[in-house]
Amino acid sequence: MMSKHEAREFASRWLPAWSGNRPEELASYYSDDCLYIDAGIPNGAKGKVELLEYFKILLAQNPNWEWSQIEAIPMRDGFLNKWLAKIPVGDDIHECVGVCFVQFDEQGKIKRNEVYFDRTELIAKVISYKNNQ
């Protein structure tokens, strides 16, 4: 079982890799046979090759978002990560709270990562921003 301290320490390295459009760096935290699921890819990216292709698109669209951990809840082989994302939409910053679970393989790489949050307000802000351009 991972401790809260270990989960916080991991997140302090992993979450910053979500910013700055560095898909290869972010993908380095994942195992070759990982499974990644979020609202944008509900059937999941299976394996690091698919995941890297998805990260290249996702991070290029969101190079300046910032992710931080609110709370870590240890679980078998990983942790539940409650997070805060600050997502730029035009001149505004949308703050979104969500959760993901992170499970590791024996080498300490992420083998499964599922991300869940309510995108309703974010989508409305993006649509409004695009309509006002």
Q: Express each pLDDT in 112-122 by its tens digit.
A: 999 999 988 88
Q: Which domain holds residue 120?
A: 4-131
Q: What is the CATH number of the domain that holds 105?
A: 3.10.450.50
**What is the spatial order of strands in the sheet that 30-38 belongs to?**
41-46, 30-38, 110-116, 92-104, 78-89, 66-75
Q: Express each pLDDT in 84-97 by its tens digit.
A: 999 999 999 999 99
Instruction: Read off the pTM.
Output: 0.92
Q: Express each pLDDT in 36-73 by its tens digit.
A: 999 989 999 999 999 999 999 999 999 999 999 999 99
Burial tier of 106 (Cβ tally within 10 Å: 0-12, 13-18, 19+):
exposed
Instruction: Tell me how many domains the chain contains.
Output: 1
Stretch 17-43: mean pLDDT, rounded?
96
